[in-house]
Amino acid sequence: MRRSRTPVIAWIPPQTAIAVAFALSACHRSGEEKIGRTGGPSAELSSKTTAKDGSTQRAPGTDREPIVHVPVGAFKAGSSPLEPGRHPETEPWPHSLTLGPFRIDRHPRAVPEPTAAGGTKGGVRPGFAFEEAQVVCAEGGGRLCTEVEWERACKGPQSSVYAGGDSPCTGPSCVSGYEVEGLGAGLEWTSSSFESRSPFRGQHVLRGSPHGAAPAERRCARRLADGETTVASEPVTFRCCYGAPNAQRLKDPEEKVAFREVDLPLSELGSLLGASERTKELTQDLAYFHEDAARTVLARGPGDTMGFALTTRAVVWSPAQGVEILVVSGRSGARTAFVVAYFTAGSERVLAGSFIMKNEPGPIALAYATSIRPRMHFSGCWGCPGETGKLLFRPPESLVLLQP
């Protein structure tokens, strides 16, 4: 009979798709500087208002120049792990891109009126057809914007999550830091297409969001394919850009090896644990289990690996395209074992979940099978009833740690 243990402490983060409720304020700021066509400040009074949640709105009916200048500069493209509403299979990890200057329509083109036959004038779907948008831009001396130009115009000088700042804003009055209006209020064509590595390879990239979408879906980094069933009946509009197109483009998320063992310095693990109040206590007398301790875990049970690899090293786990999770087991002091997991995006790591076992000296091994991509295990006695826990990945980007 194995030793008894006190109850386990587990934490599971909330789902990433959350509803955000916010109320708008009617306070008007006069005399605010704007970004004009030359990219510099203007003496013209601004009609922007700031809501209580910090998002920026535009008072309707304001006369503005129809084309906005976006200056040369760098911005943070992509989205971070656990960002509400994030879709990791289409949105790349955060990375810096530098674009040359370009100009962009302040407003999207008005959606055509439906025809008597139920379609739209000049298009096979509601709104504008892709080819029609190209022709209209060319006739006006412009071109369709690339998706990175659209994202830079949306995120503004501060690389904000939403067009209005770090909180969602709704409707055509939503204005970005570059004074571009209505970004995220509807679907818009871009000149970009998904790469061959994407499940939507070859399809046109839409930016923005369907009408009536949840606030989290209005993020500047949101990417959709024109062939997705969820947007097939949605009207699509567009806006034109002017000047030479920027050659920079986003790289679609890669599908990586499902599991790979890595060496994580103990000091780096200590920094990760210390960054969260939920795991800060584990930094006391922190240690890894010995590399051969996995054999001890196996020997405590029937001795059959059941097709799994057991290890006490850290594991980088890719349960789905665009998702990487760092999973680590270790001990704090003599009688506390733990398993922690972090969503990883390059050098950025976000705590995905933790499982803390009191009165458990270990060792605790991690177990994985390449044929079972969305699941991992942790165990102190492999094959023993009640001694093995699970890490379960749930799309689009959440993780559950449990022990039956």
| Residue 120, pLDDT above cutoff 80 | no
Q: Enumerate domains of the chain plus CATH numbers.
A: 48-242 (3.90.1580.10), 255-402 (no CATH)
The confidence score (pLDDT) of residue 169 equals 83
Percentage of the residues of the chain whose pLDDT score is greater than 90:
69
Structure tokens at 188: 């818009």
Q: Which residues contact 115 (CB under 8 A, 6 or more apart)?
A: 121
CA distance 285 to 312: 18
Instruction: Tell me the average pLDDT of the chain.
Output: 84
Query: Using an 8 Å Cβ cutoff, are 113 and 189 in contact?
Result: no
Distances in Å between the Cα of 26 and the Cα atoms of 23, 29, 164, 172, 178 are 10, 10, 15, 16, 21
User: What are the E-state strand segments in 220-298?
Assistant: 223-225, 236-237, 240-242, 259-262, 286-287
Cα 353–Cα 357–Cα 361 angle in degrees, nearest 5: 130
Instruction: Read off the pLDDT of residues 180-235 as tens digits, 9 standing for 90 and up.
Output: 999 998 999 999 999 988 989 999 999 999 888 898 899 999 999 998 888 888 99
Give residue for tokens 């295990």.
377
pLDDT for res 168: 87
What per-residue confidence (pLDDT) applies to 312? 98
Task: List, for residues 150-165, the tens digit of each pLDDT value.
Answer: 999 999 999 999 999 9
**Range 144-148 average pLDDT:** 98
Backbone CA torsion sign across 184, 185, 186, 191: negative
Q: Residue 4: what pLDDT? A: 41
Measured CA to CA, the distance from residue 138 to residue 293 in angstroms comes to: 67
pLDDT bin (cut points 50, 70, 90) of residue 115 is: low
On the question of pLDDT at 28 being above 50, the answer is: no
**247: how many CB neighbours lie within 10 A of its CB?**
9
